[in-house]
Amino acid sequence: MADNQNVIVTKAGIEALINAEKTGTEKLTLDSVKLTSAPFDATYNTESISDDAVCATLTAVGGEQTGDQTISVTATDNSDAAYSAYGFGIYAGDVLFAVYSASSPIINKVAGSAAMLAADIFVSNGSVASIAFGDVSFRMPAATNTKEGAIRIATDTEALAKTDSTIALCPANLKTLNFAVATDVSDTYATKSSIVDDWYAHLPINTAATHNCFYRGKDLTAAFDSGEFSEHVADGSFTDIFPGDFIKKAITVSGTAYTVKWIIMELDYWLNTLGSTPVTAHHAVILPETPPFNAYMNSTNTTSGGYTQCAMYKNTIPAFAAGLTAAFGAGHILTFQEWFSTHTNDTVQSTAYGGWQGASTGWDGTEKALSFTCNLMNSMMAFGAPIWSSSGFDSFSAVHQFAAFRMNPSLIYANRSWYWLRDVASSSAFAVVGGGGGARAGGASDVGGVRPFALLA
């Protein structure tokens, strides 16, 4: 037997419909569906389905008119019965209105599950307006977190309320709930500022340690200019300040002005660290996004005496510090102390590269801690490891990578501009960050990028 392609309205069904249309007093009510346990001969002339062939009778029947000559009929079975159905007959009382049969099961119901039948029917004769349905309040059983069923889509108001566990969210609700910020805030979850406030409320605590775990990238120039930035730094809460955020501030060094985007690298990096006068004020480490200008470490290829004896330390860094203080204000740039190598030995094996000679061998015996308002980074700050450092004397006081570099390594590359680090690499070279972000070394007389960091309060 070939499968029927469409539900067939029977001769008896057409006659009953026409009769209901002519009388005009009562509609033809479709009130039950009989499912068959095997295929049967479903034709225009079929008048009944044998009781022996019926595996289930569904009386929860609903439907609606969907066109001038079409109706949609739906029936459900919420019983514990289990069966496989191959066909069905739709009844109006004792009249078999429509039939359908297939060679393979159209429903496979297991015990405890709900079965649903939906059929679209074309009625060639008679008015579908004269058809009614037995259980007009028919609905599928409500869905739960353990059972399939019908569920309603939430309105935006219900989504915002977040109290109803019997309705479902759709993508439009999620947009409203989490992201939309409209001029009419009554149709949205919240303004941007209140979303941030809610996020802060769920942070374990507002401290440098907490904020150093998040990378953002927000422009804080206005916050700094208004004093809000400094207020939140001073109280140690660092509210709305994260690594990756930035401040745009021009700086003039030795008469030349540079436009600089200062990246927040880490919060409280230098708090209570080494030095005879440790930094006790809360602060944000700032670093130019790219080197503002280029300079050499020494006029010749020598590292004799270490970083503190080179031209970069003696001339360039002080000039940069003066411009930095003038740009941000003396009250916002903190002084900090570091220990440095002040002696080198040209015949000592360097740990930077096999076969290289020359290394840092000690620091000044009378002044171990030197004071700064800005300085070049060492390899530990940039990479988290002393990759091209000649010895342990190159990274005694700054011993971990900046948080912003850790979370966004592309910041290390500085738009592929190579720049100096302060580690001695050999008797003739200092460590550098290469144009592609890699660790390498450069001859002391090479002209490379100058990218000092500072502590901003």
Which pLDDT belongs to residue 392?
84
Q: Which of 152-166, 204-218, 233-247 has the lowest mean pLDDT?
A: 152-166
Complete DSSP assignment for 348-407: EEPSSSTT-EEEEEE--SS--EEEESSB---HHHHHSS-TT-SSGGGSSS--S--HHHHH
CA distance 147 to 141: 9
Where does 243-316 have alpha helices with state H?
Answer: 311
Report the SS3 class of residue 343: strand
Condensed to tens digits (0 to 9), the pLDDT of residues 240-294 reads: 999 999 999 999 999 999 999 999 999 999 999 866 788 999 999 999 999 999 9
Residue 94 has pLDDT above 90, yes or no: yes
| Per-residue model confidence (pLDDT) at position 286 | 98
Q: What is the pLDDT of residue 367?
A: 44
Structural domain boundaries in the chain = 8-133, 152-195, 226-456
Confidence of residue 342 (pLDDT cuts 50, 70, 90): confident
Is the pLDDT score of 362 beyond 80?
no
- According to the model, what pLDDT value does residue 2 have? 46
Q: pTM for the whole thing?
A: 0.59
Flag whether pLDDT at 366 surpasses 50. Answer: no
List beta partners, residue 455.
285
% of the chain surpassing 70 pLDDT:
88
Tell me, what amino acid is at 113?
S
Res 138 pLDDT > 60: no
Residue-level pLDDT at 195: 65
Rounded to whole angstroms, what are the CA distances from 167 to 148, 150, 152, 154, 180? 13, 10, 5, 6, 21
DSSP 8-state secondary structure symbol assigned to residue 51: G
CA-nearest of 307, 319, 296 to 419 is: 296
Cα 126 versus chain centre, distance: 58
| Interacting residues of 15 by C-beta distance below 8 A, sequence separation 6+ | none
Mean pLDDT value across residues 56-85? 92
pLDDT of residue 181: 42
pLDDT tens-digit map of 173-207: 777 776 544 444 444 445 555 666 666 666 767 88
**pLDDT mean over 117-146:** 78
